[in-house]
Chains A and B, each alone.
Chain A
Amino acid sequence: AQSVTQPDIHITVSEGASLELRCNYSYGATPYLFWYVQSPGQGLQLLLKYFSGDTLVQGIKGFEAEFKRSQSSFNLRKPSVHWSDAAEYFCAVGVTGTASKLTFGTGTRLQVTL
């Protein structure tokens, strides 16, 4: 079965600094990968997704992620963080040919200091 690991439970960065959130997955074939963001008490908003093709994926709000098959990783990046980016970020993996089941990581909470 597939699994997702987000090794960082909590990250603090200064406003204007760069950001990288780590995501590692375990799956035997090419996965479908997603990053979602959740503000406190809210639902999840899709930031970006990787299905196939170019391994560098651009998303909303200036985020990007790179799929690295050799490292089983799909890290999320942003060159300059804004205070409004403070939220919880979830990486998820989906598989082909099965019922539509996403497996989520446990999330990384991002705090932004001014």
Chain B
Amino acid sequence: DGGITQSPKYLFRKEGQNVTLSCEQNLNHDAMYWYRQDPGQGLRLIYYSQIVNDFQKGDIAEGYSVSREKKESFPLTVTSAQKNPTAFYLCASSITPPGIFQETQYFGPGTRLLVL
């Protein structure tokens, strides 16, 4: 079955530690996205990538980094510079890079990051 997988489901971070969240898709989608979800705040865009080897900052990129070396994969690293990382992180993908029209984004099951 085609879809988006995120791992791990739960992740614990110690003070000063970098952690990496995995996102893989087998939908052959070009574009991929990372969102952060906090209670009562909806979803906020962290980073997005329209094609391999290219990515752009979203609205809240500070303290995060990404890479896009393969079409199927878009890992997110939460660095020690992110002072309030506790949140639910959602990865999404869409079929084509944006151009004339908006493509639907499909979401993975999410990773909950907790700080020890």
Contacts and interface: CB of A to CB of B under 8 A. Distances in A.
Given A100-B102, A107-B42, A44 B50 contact: no
| A contact residues, range | 20 to 34
Contacts of B48: 99-101
A44 B93 CA distance: 12
B109 to A, nearest CB: 5
B90 A51 contact: no
A10 B92 CA distance: 26
Given A34-B104, A51-B102, A95-B102, A102 B45 contact: yes
Nearest to B44: A104
A104 B42 contact: yes
Interface of B: 4, 6, 31, 33, 40-45, 48, 50, 56, 58, 88, 90, 92, 94, 97-110, 112
8 shortest interchain CB distances as A-B pairs: A100-B98, A94-B102, A32-B102, A43-B107, A104-B42, A44-B107, A104-B43, A106-B42
